[in-house]
Amino acid sequence: MDRLQTMSVFVAVAEASGFMPAARRLGISPPSVTRAVSDLEARLGARLLHRTTRSVTLTEAGERYLADCRRILAEIDEADRHAAGLHAAPSGLVSVTASVMFGRLALLPVLLDLLDRYPDISVSTLFVDRVVHLINEGVDVAVRIAELPDSQLSAVRVGSVRRVLCASPGYLAARGRPRAPSDLAAHDIINFATMAVGGEWSLVRNGKPQGFRPRARLIMNTADAAIDAALAGRGITRVLSYMVAQHVATGALEIVLQDCEPPPVPIHVVHKEAGQTSARVRAVVDHLVEGLRRNPVIGQAGLIAGGALTEL
């Protein structure tokens, strides 16, 4: 095999976590795959994979080499497409990642519209509640709900959401409406653990940060469950504003302590550096920016006077 073929085999083994599944994916024999990776490691003078009878995992050198291989192979593919006159016509597979609930509620409708607009583009989604490393994990585009650190990625801001406290009207009628963060101590709290960084809810009182450490009998690991419990009248919970937009609009939930919310957190569409952006990725980024900016729930005004958002 030539060098590029060997790199492609290594990428397949790394992504499939094994030699047999990589061989099936590539349509070649398992011994050919094993030999290609062994020859590659011998040429580089470095071990790229840890091999056991049950698993194949990347070494530290392998992780770095995988990212480089993905980038090089993508650039070669783009060069071929450009030479063939296809650069101006977006086509091919684009992978997009976002948090689970945001992906379902806000991103999916935009992606479905994308498929109608670009019939030659295919989309693969990775909706997970963690930060996905675009280069290392081979993902093209991400929607990040957080303040972004400096990086080699390009980002376009599309809106923001708020971290809101909410409860059902029935609960508030029975237990009263909190007027200050200190009032929360007398209420039933439904704690969505992801929203309590360091175990605290960050709030603001008279312009100054004020933390509240929730003591909850009901601790949820998903926003859906926390919202369902609040709808059932079991207490006050804290989630992101887009998650409860529909319930607030219908009156099923009410926002409390709105004047004590921390500053909004931005939403960005993130992708690799502009110089490495293919026509298909550029088309997807532009479409997501356009579509998400039209969404009133995550716009600068937000659903309920404001906007704020955190990475989930």
Write out pLDDT tens, residues 22-32: 999 889 999 99
Higher pLDDT, 210 or 243: 243
**pLDDT band at 309, cuts 50/70/90?**
very low
154 burial via Cβ count (<10 Å: 0-12, 13-18, 19+):
middle
Work out the average pLDDT over 191-200.
76
69 in a structural domain: yes
**pLDDT band at 305, cuts 50/70/90?**
very low
Residue that has been written with the tokens 């990086």 in this structure = 151
Per DSSP, what are the bridge partners of residue 211?
202
Q: How far apart are CA 190 and CA 29, in angstroms?
A: 54
Write out pLDDT tens, residues 267-290: 999 987 655 567 888 899 999 999
Residue 304, number of CB atoms within 10 A of its CB = 19
Work out the average pLDDT over 111-130.
93
Residue 227, number of CB atoms within 10 A of its CB = 22
Q: How many alpha carbons fall within 13 Å on the CB side of residue 136?
A: 9
Q: Is the pLDDT of residue 302 over 60?
A: no
Residue 279, number of CB atoms within 10 A of its CB = 18
Q: Which of 33, 35, 29 has the alpha carbon at shortest distance from 12?
A: 33
Q: Are residues 148 and 25 in the same domain?
A: no
The reported pLDDT for the residue numbered 99 is 93
What is the β-pairing status of strands 92-98 and 121-127? parallel
Q: Are residues 241 and 96 in the same domain?
A: no
Q: Is the pLDDT of residue 311 over 50?
A: no
Q: Is the pLDDT of residue 300 over 50?
A: no
The reported pLDDT for the residue numbered 28 is 92
194 in a structural domain: yes
311 in a structural domain: no
Mean pLDDT of the chain: 86
Q: How far apart are CA 214 and CA 70, in angstroms?
A: 44
Residue that has been written with the tokens 């997009």 in this structure = 96
Q: Is the pLDDT of residue 50 over 80?
A: yes
Q: How far apart are CA 166 and CA 234, in angstroms?
A: 11
39 in a structural domain: yes
Total tally of structural domains belonging to the chain: 3
Lowest-confidence segment of 90-94, 158-162, 305-309 by average pLDDT: 305-309
Lowest-confidence segment of 87-91, 120-124, 292-296 by average pLDDT: 87-91
29 in a structural domain: yes
Write out pLDDT tens, residues 135-194: 778 889 999 998 887 666 788 999 999 999 999 999 999 999 999 999 999 999 999 877
Q: Are residues 167 and 151 in the same domain?
A: no
**Percent of the chain topping pLDDT 70:** 88
Domain assignment of residue 205, given as a range? 163-260
Q: Are residues 201 and 168 in the same domain?
A: yes
Give the three-state DSSP class for 248. Answer: helix
Q: Are residues 168 and 219 in the same domain?
A: yes
Q: Is the pLDDT of residue 303 over 50?
A: no
Cα torsion angle, 208, 213, 214, 215, sign: negative
CATH code: domain of residue 24: 1.10.10.10
Question: Which tokens go with 210?
Answer: 């004020």
- Could you give the angle at the alpha carbon of 278 between the alpha carbons of 272 and 279, nearest 5°? 130
Cβ distance 264 to 163 under 8 Å?
A: no
281 in a structural domain: yes
Higher pLDDT, 213 or 253: 253
**DSSP assigned state of 199:** G
The reported pLDDT for the residue numbered 310 is 32
141 in a structural domain: yes
Q: Is the pLDDT of residue 132 over 60?
A: yes
Q: Is the pLDDT of residue 8 over 80?
A: yes
Phi-psi region of 238 (alpha: psi -120 to 50; beta: other; left: phi over 0): beta
Q: Report which secondary-structure segment, H or E, holds 209.
A: strand 208-212
Q: Are residues 55 and 108 in the same domain?
A: no
Per DSSP, what are the bridge partners of residue 265?
161
Write out pLDDT tens, residues 243-262: 999 999 999 999 999 999 99
Residue that has been written with the tokens 């650190």 in this structure = 149
Per DSSP, what are the bridge partners of residue 84?
none
Q: Are residues 274 and 248 in the same domain?
A: no
Q: Which of 292, 291, 288 has the alpha carbon at shortest distance from 94?
A: 288
